[in-house]
Chain A
Amino acid sequence: MNRWLIVVGREYKTRVRKRAFILSTLLGPFLMVGIVVVMAFLAISTNETDSKVLIVDHNNLLTYNLPGEEGQRLPSCPECFPERDFLEYRFASKALDTQEFLESDFTAMVELDDGIMQSAKALLKYESAAPTKVKSAVKRDLGEAIERLRVQNESALDYEAYKKLKVRIGLVTQNIITEDKNIENRSGIGFVFSIFMFMFIMIYGMHVMRGVIEEKSNRIVEVVISVVKPELLMGAKMAGIGLVGLTQIAVWSLLSWLLFLGFGFYAESSGLLLNLMNEQETQLAATDFMTFVESDSDLGVLLQVNWGIMLGWGAFFYIAGFALYSSLFAAIGAAVEQESDAQYLLLPATLPLMFSYIVNIFIIESPDSTLATFCSFFPFTSPITMMVKLSVGVPWWHVVLSALILIMTVYLMVKMAGKIYRTGILMYGKKPSLREMSRWLMYKNK
């Protein structure tokens, strides 16, 4: 067997069989989903305590007195204040004073008078802040009630006719050249890709550096490079560790896909899907999970993204970006004898990576800005930035050019790193300065 492959095999095997790797690889997606579920659960559970809201209608705009029952008022438009499982309304024409309110079981008290017809404002009093969900329900219900009143007072239409006339404009955006629609939503997916890109390049790049330092500091490297040329050893280490990263990415992608499908299946069979749709007041007849995802304004983007392009180019930019940064890290590892000595060299090396990660937040906002275009060509930032650009659509020649620039830079970088590596790996004692390391680049390759 080829010596190089034997080394790659060792680098790969000794890492993927570690318990920490197996656990994080298998549990990663579950953990992420778990976090989302826990967050959602927490959000739901705070809403779950039933809220009771008292509407104080000072001028009897929306309510009338039930004959015979003093003080107990009823809404003139009962359908405006529907029964909800998290919200219950009571009506009155006189506000409770503070003491009374505190002693009552009301979550909030909403006071309104004639002014609401013009100002469209009501006063909500509370002891502890009412959940957003309750507030928005109150806003919607009150809004509809006032709207009905206005329509009735100021037009000849009945409310149902008015409702039919009402329009709400949504903007469907389209790129005039690519004819792509609603691309902004997709940049979120690109952002997620770039986060993972950053994470994997960083984590596994550091693995390469640590591996080099380990071999150097325990002196095993001397035996290894008597068999495998230093540049090849460095390359094999990068390849082996890069593969470990790819393995993790592959397993995570697969598990996430399975989780997604699994959830879909569960949602379909348990009737959860119908609930979800009802809450959205969607009038879809189909109870198919995919149709649901497609129709949902937030989830629909999952099906609009070209996963083939994202995953294919994602793999390329991961491999190239990893090769670029890990060769840099390998050279740093070879120059020092322990990890703590590497800090002063690591900062300048990781700066562009950090930069592209932070700048990404602006790039999502305007993926066609000069900054975004520059970052998508500059090889030290392109692996990260290109993920966002790809998700929103980018001319093919743009990607190919960026890829070519990256490949050329990787080639030069690996060559230079190899030279620093082969000299540094056998140097013990003092910490080399950057000037000294640049001199190593001039040493003859013998």
Chain B
Amino acid sequence: MNKTPSLKLHDVTKRYGSHVALGGVSLEVPQGSIFGLLGPNGAGKTTLIRMVAGITGPDEGEISFFGESLSSEHISSLGYLPEERGLYKNMRVGEQVMYFARLRGMGKQEAEKETKEWFERLEVDGWWDKEVADLSKGMAQKIQFIVAVLHKPKFLILDEPLSGFDPINASRIRTEINRLRDEFGTTILLSTHDMSSVDELCDHVALIDNGIKILEGPVNTLRENARAGRIELKFRGNLISFTAALGAGAILHEALSHGDNIHDVVLGLPSSIPIEEFLKWVTSVVDVLSCTPKVVSMDEVFLRAVKTASNTEPS
């Protein structure tokens, strides 16, 4: 499947005065993916998102949207939920949602129908005539989410979509994000600090730090790379004779001994040694209870990449 990427940034640079907010970032967001945009505070995520949302433009470089140069014609194909978000206080809830739907190019009847459906789905029906001032923070968040997705955008930008939600509603929103991708093929650019939601939702990620992209790729590949052949092994037997048996073939990274001669170890296995062979070899020395590839959380991937980047960065 060689589809045009939904979003492609080519060498995009943005400066504010002398400050370089983004310095030559290139990345591709595959169609129908949930693409995590990660990075510490001040890394340039908001700048990137604002450019994709059409609020600002790049000083240099190009942004293409489904193969076309990004322009105001794509407004109705874009949905945007900013991190800092609000609603008009002097409007009623339903009226407000309708206003944004119509700004995104929806007809009145269609907008009304869609709004009602979303209100039901997120259990906010009956709020149509409520004053925005009467809404709790969580309620307002739901309305803002609806505003972003109502017009069925092909491309949805969600900046910290889960912040401010209680766990129950956060999981409901997560379900909705997945449903949008699965049912409508919506591509979602998700910027977040919450690594657990990256683990759960994203299939691709890019990591930005100091205005520079330092990592990009499918989540599984990145995890696999970060795993670097490490496996977790649980065995019963003597740790010293186990270590001796490893020899130079594999590296022992961590070891945790429990009672009863049971040990948990993390091993680095070179790719030249197939795991089946390695297992045959160690079972002759110790009693192997379990063997799994080491699970690397995105948190770890993230921290490692930032660390490597700051070490190699010329200062």
Tell me whether B103 and A3 are in contact (CB under 8 A): yes
Tell me whether B59 and A220 are in contact (CB under 8 A): no
Q: Is B104 part of the contact surface with A, judged by Cβ < 8 Å? A: yes
Tell me whether A223 and B59 are in contact (CB under 8 A): no
Q: Quick one: which of A328-352 are within 8 Å of B by CB?
A: none
Q: Is B282 part of the contact surface with A, judged by Cβ < 8 Å? A: no
Question: How far is A334 from B231 in the complex, measured between Cα atoms in Å?
Answer: 56
Q: Is B44 part of the contact surface with A, judged by Cβ < 8 Å? A: no
Question: How far is A439 from B17 in the complex, measured between Cα atoms in Å?
Answer: 9
- With both beta carbons as reference points, the residue of chain B lying nearest to A1 in the complex is identified as B102
How many Å from the CB of A215 to the closest CB on chain B?
8
- Residues 221-237 of A, flagged 1 when their CB comes within 8 A of B and 0 if not, give 01111111100000000
Q: Is A408 part of the contact surface with B, judged by Cβ < 8 Å? A: no
Tell me whether A220 and B58 are in contact (CB under 8 A): no
Question: How far is A244 from B54 in the complex, measured between Cα atoms in Å?
Answer: 30
Chain B residues with Cβ under 8 A from A229's Cβ?
72
Known contacts A214-B89, A219-B85, A222-B85, A227 near B56 by CB under 8 Å: no
Q: Is B1 part of the contact surface with A, judged by Cβ < 8 Å? A: no
Question: How far is A226 from B77 in the complex, measured between Cα atoms in Å?
Answer: 12
Tell me whether B87 and A220 are in contact (CB under 8 A): yes
Q: Identify which of A1, A7, A227, A444 contacts B59 (C-beta below 8 A).
A: A444
Chain A residues with Cβ under 8 A from B102's Cβ?
1, 6
Chain B residues with Cβ under 8 A from A428's Cβ?
84
Q: Is B10 part of the contact surface with A, judged by Cβ < 8 Å? A: no
Q: Is B75 part of the contact surface with A, judged by Cβ < 8 Å? A: yes
How many Å from the CB of A232 to the closest CB on chain B?
10
How many Å from the CB of B26 to the closest CB on chain A?
19
Q: Is B147 part of the contact surface with A, judged by Cβ < 8 Å? A: yes
Chain A residues with Cβ under 8 A from B103's Cβ?
3, 6-7, 224, 227-228
How many Å from the CB of A256 to the closest CB on chain B?
29
Q: Is B308 part of the contact surface with A, judged by Cβ < 8 Å? A: no
Tell me whether B91 and A14 are in contact (CB under 8 A): yes
Chain A residues with Cβ under 8 A from B57's Cβ?
446
Chain B residues with Cβ under 8 A from A128's Cβ?
none
Chain B residues with Cβ under 8 A from A224's Cβ?
103
Question: How far is A426 from B78 in the complex, measured between Cα atoms in Å?
Answer: 20
Tell me whether B99 and A10 are in contact (CB under 8 A): yes
Question: How far is A1 from B99 in the complex, measured between Cα atoms in Å?
Answer: 12
Chain A residues with Cβ under 8 A from B54's Cβ?
226-227
Q: Identify which of A18, A226, A426, A446 contacts B80 (C-beta below 8 A).
A: A226
Q: Is B236 part of the contact surface with A, judged by Cβ < 8 Å? A: no
- With both beta carbons as reference points, the residue of chain A lying nearest to B147 in the complex is identified as A223
Chain B: how many interface residues by the 8 Å CB criterion?
30
Q: Is A136 part of the contact surface with B, judged by Cβ < 8 Å? A: no
Q: Quick one: which of B81-115 are within 8 Å of A by CB?
A: 81-82, 84-91, 99-100, 102-104
How many Å from the CB of A446 to the closest CB on chain B?
3
Q: Is A178 part of the contact surface with B, judged by Cβ < 8 Å? A: no
- With both beta carbons as reference points, the residue of chain A lying nearest to B105 in the complex is identified as A3
Question: How far is A18 from B90 in the complex, measured between Cα atoms in Å?
Answer: 9
Chain A residues with Cβ under 8 A from B147's Cβ?
223
- With both beta carbons as reference points, the residue of chain B lying nearest to A222 in the complex is identified as B82
Chain B residues with Cβ under 8 A from A227's Cβ?
54, 75, 100, 103-104
Tell me whether A446 and B87 are in contact (CB under 8 A): no
How many Å from the CB of B157 to the closest CB on chain A?
9
Tell me whether A226 and B53 are in contact (CB under 8 A): yes
**Max chain A Cβ within 10 angstroms of own Cβ: one of B53, B88, B103:** B103
How many Å from the CB of A229 to the closest CB on chain B?
8
Chain B residues with Cβ under 8 A from A7's Cβ?
103
Known contacts A6-B102, A227-B103, A227-B104, A446 near B58 by CB under 8 Å: yes
Tell me whether A223 and B17 are in contact (CB under 8 A): no
Q: Is B55 part of the contact surface with A, judged by Cβ < 8 Å? A: yes
Question: How far is A426 from B82 in the complex, measured between Cα atoms in Å?
Answer: 12
Tell me whether B88 and A223 are in contact (CB under 8 A): no
How many Å from the CB of B28 to the closest CB on chain A?
22
Q: Is A155 part of the contact surface with B, judged by Cβ < 8 Å? A: no
How many Å from the CB of A244 to the closest CB on chain B?
13
Tell me whether A223 and B82 are in contact (CB under 8 A): yes
Question: How far is A86 from B134 in the complex, measured between Cα atoms in Å?
Answer: 62
Q: Is B50 part of the contact surface with A, judged by Cβ < 8 Å? A: yes
Question: How far is A127 from B254 in the complex, measured between Cα atoms in Å?
Answer: 111
Q: Is A118 part of the contact surface with B, judged by Cβ < 8 Å? A: no
Question: How far is A121 from B78 in the complex, measured between Cα atoms in Å?
Answer: 90
- With both beta carbons as reference points, the residue of chain A lying nearest to B56 in the complex is identified as A446
Chain B residues with Cβ under 8 A from A45's Cβ?
none
Chain B residues with Cβ under 8 A from A218's Cβ?
86-89
How many Å from the CB of A211 to the closest CB on chain B?
10
Chain A residues with Cβ under 8 A from B100's Cβ?
223, 227
Tell me whether B91 and A223 are in contact (CB under 8 A): no
How many Å from the CB of A402 to the closest CB on chain B?
37
- Residues 388-400 of A, flagged 1 when their CB comes within 8 A of B and 0 if not, give 0000000000000
Chain A residues with Cβ under 8 A from B91's Cβ?
10, 14
Q: Identify which of B50, B89, B104, B148 contacts A426 (C-beta below 8 A).
A: B50
How many Å from the CB of B279 to the closest CB on chain A?
54
Question: How far is A1 from B82 in the complex, measured between Cα atoms in Å?
Answer: 25
Tell me whether A223 and B85 are in contact (CB under 8 A): yes
Q: Quick one: which of A222-258 are within 8 Å of B by CB?
A: 222-229
Q: Quick one: which of B139-163 are within 8 Å of A by CB?
A: 147-148
Chain B residues with Cβ under 8 A from A225's Cβ?
55
Q: Identify which of B75, B84, B87, B104 contacts A222 (C-beta below 8 A).
A: B84
Sort A-B residue pairs by CB-CB distance and give the 9 closest, nearest first. A218-B86, A446-B57, A219-B84, A226-B53, A219-B86, A222-B82, A220-B86, A227-B103, A226-B80
Q: Interface of A with B (CB < 8 Å)? A: 1, 3, 6-7, 10, 14, 18, 214-215, 218-220, 222-229, 426, 428, 439, 444, 446
Q: Interface of B with A (CB < 8 Å)? A: 17, 50, 53-59, 72, 75, 78, 80-82, 84-91, 99-100, 102-104, 147-148
Would you mind naming 6 contact pairs between A and B with Cβ atoms under 8 Å apart?
A223-B148, A225-B55, A229-B72, A426-B50, A428-B84, A446-B58
Extra pairs beyond A219-B84, A229-B72 (10, CB < 8 Å): A3-B103, A220-B88, A222-B50, A223-B80, A223-B82, A226-B54, A227-B54, A227-B104, A228-B103, A428-B84
